[in-house]
Amino acid sequence: MAPPHVLAFPFPAQGHINPMILLCRKLASMGFIITFINTRSRHEQEFKKSTALAYRFVSIPDDCLPKHRLGNNLQMFLNAMEGMKQDLEQLVTDMASDPRRPPVTCVLFDAFIGWSQEFCHNLGIARALLWTSSAACLLLCFHLPLLKHLLPAKGRKDIIDFMPGLPSFCASHLPSTLQHEDECDPGFELRIQRFERMKGDVWVFVNSFQEMEEAPLDAARDVNPNCIAVGPLHFDDTVEETQLSISPIEDTSCLEWLDKQAPSSVVYVSFGSVATISYSDAQQIYKGLANSGHAFLWVIRLDLLQGSDEQARNEFLARIQQNEKGLIISWAPQVKVLEHESVGAFLSHCGWNSTLESLSAGVPILCLPCFAEQVFNTAWVVDTLKVGVRIKKAMEAGIHASHVEDMVRFVMGRDHCSGDELRRRAKELRHAAKRNVQPNGSSHANLVNFAKALKLHCD
């Protein structure tokens, strides 16, 4: 009997590709054949290609995708991705007559992609979805009609205390990606329909684990019993290192720099792969970090700073480089950085992958959310898990250096009423994360169940 062949189709953004590739790695270690779809421009530009037998990268044209940054244009990208449907269909059909591999058994779609149901139905193959954000956020999507009267929620102070599986929270924390402009916004109805297709019994993989999101995971399973926690996906001692790796070029020199620092003495700063910050906020962050007296490692992507010309940017970077306590790089081996014993805190935009990676490493978070679901994730980290603090940002005035300094001192502090307590709770989550991915852990067991179900489907 040929092993199941899974075709993975990610949403083309780093925070979606990373967990998809990690999930594929796990499935491959369980005997699945994997074909991973890249968009052509990424494939040609920056991907390391795998030669391992169980994996194959295939690229399909992406001329239909917008040429500008993803930023806040999620819906526009999703609409444009419909243009890739035909090529994907052709690929699956061609594979059915490829003697070198078994036909595709299941397409693993990023859950953002709304046409997966119809696609798999037409081709008569199984469908599974990867949800790359939190289970809490998934619940908001499942119950979106309940929130309709509160959207758009920007600036609203209503307390939402009626969502199954979620504690009370302020309406202004709702993700911007769920919002609609007005009652008649067709995009909003499309979103509702998209989330309806994640109900029923389709497999939905969530990159989370039980102790991280107990109540939301339980409530998500009430809606769809096949919503399963399989995380943290990046964190797995049981999977052998393979060549299946996709990311921009990492600057590993920072690991040697970290080796020279004292334990828990460094603040790691990163805003992920998409978010931007204003030049003036960046200056305040730098001043706050410098005044705190703590060492820091800061990822400043080429496109991170908005509102500065090239000269101002270069002068700013040069100023930081003169600071003996700071190091800037353009892309970090983030998981390794967070696992390094010198890192004491993570100043993060709170993208879900970064949040999970930080807490799985036992590192508390200085939360500075920018957009999408980052404000909502921050509320989970600060108010529910109590493993981080907020860096406040005034509407007009932006971030203030003295506040950054205070928060950094607080989290890096070693007395019992400050950082130590956050660190203790983060370490508990680290232990739980480790337990979950081990052979008797619940995230691992969930994947084994999926594998069994898919093998049955093949028989």
For residues 248 and 293, which CB has a smaller minimum distance to ligand UDP in the complex? Answer: 248
- Which range of residues in 116-124, 207-215, 266-274, 429-437 is near ligand UDP by CB under 6 A? 266-274
Query: Which 8-state DSSP code applies to residue 24?
Result: H
Taking each helix axis from N to C end, the angle separating 352-360 and 419-437, rounded to the nearest 10 degrees, works out to 100
Distance of CA 69 to the CA centre of its chain: 17
Q: What CA–CA distance (Å, rounded) separates 398 from 405?
A: 15
- Does position 110 bind ligand UDP by CB under 6 A? no
- Does position 269 bind ligand UDP by CB under 6 A? no
| Widest distance between CA atoms in the chain | 65
Minimum Å distance from CB 370 to ligand UDP? 8
Tell the burial category of 423 from Cβ atoms under 10 Å away from its Cβ (0-12, 13-18, 19+): buried
Tokens representing residue 261 in the block: 């620092």
Q: What CA–CA distance (Å, rounded) separates 52 from 21?
A: 14
Query: Which 8-state DSSP code applies to residue 207?
Result: S
- Does position 131 bind ligand UDP by CB under 6 A? no
- Does position 177 bind ligand UDP by CB under 6 A? no
- Name which of residues 280 to 339 contact ligand UDP (CB under 6 A): 299, 331-332, 334-335
For residues 135 and 223, which CB has a smaller minimum distance to ligand UDP in the complex? Answer: 135
Please select the residue that binds ligand UDP; options are 3, 10, 12, 15, rule is CB under 6 A.
Answer: 15
- Does position 235 bind ligand UDP by CB under 6 A? no
Please select the residue that binds ligand UDP; options are 35, 39, 270, 446, rule is CB under 6 A.
Answer: 270
Q: What are phi and psi of 399, to 5 degrees?
A: -90, 145
Please select the residue that binds ligand UDP; options are 50, 105, 134, 273, rule is CB under 6 A.
Answer: 273
- Does position 231 bind ligand UDP by CB under 6 A? no
CA angle 29, 115, 120 (to 5 degrees): 55
For residues 78 and 95, which CB has a smaller minimum distance to ligand UDP in the complex? Answer: 78
Size of the site for ligand UDP (CB under 6 A): 19
- Does position 18 bind ligand UDP by CB under 6 A? yes
Minimum Å distance from CB 362 to ligand UDP? 16
Query: Which 8-state DSSP code applies to residue 381?
Result: I
Nearest Cα to 403, choosing from 411, 348, 324, 325? 411
For residues 33 and 295, which CB has a smaller minimum distance to ligand UDP in the complex? Answer: 295
Q: What CA–CA distance (Å, rounded) separates 156 from 231?
A: 33
Please select the residue that binds ligand UDP; options are 210, 292, 354, 378, rule is CB under 6 A.
Answer: 354
- Does position 342 bind ligand UDP by CB under 6 A? no
Q: What CA–CA distance (Å, rounded) separates 225 from 199?
A: 9
CA angle 320, 326, 328 (to 5 degrees): 70
Q: How far lies 33's CA from each of 13, 152, 276, in Å?
A: 23, 43, 38
- Does position 351 bind ligand UDP by CB under 6 A? yes
- Does position 22 bind ligand UDP by CB under 6 A? no
For residues 35 and 273, which CB has a smaller minimum distance to ligand UDP in the complex? Answer: 273
For residues 275 and 454, which CB has a smaller minimum distance to ligand UDP in the complex? Answer: 275
Binding site for ligand UDP (CB under 6 A): 14-15, 18, 247, 270, 272-275, 299, 331-332, 334-335, 351-354, 357
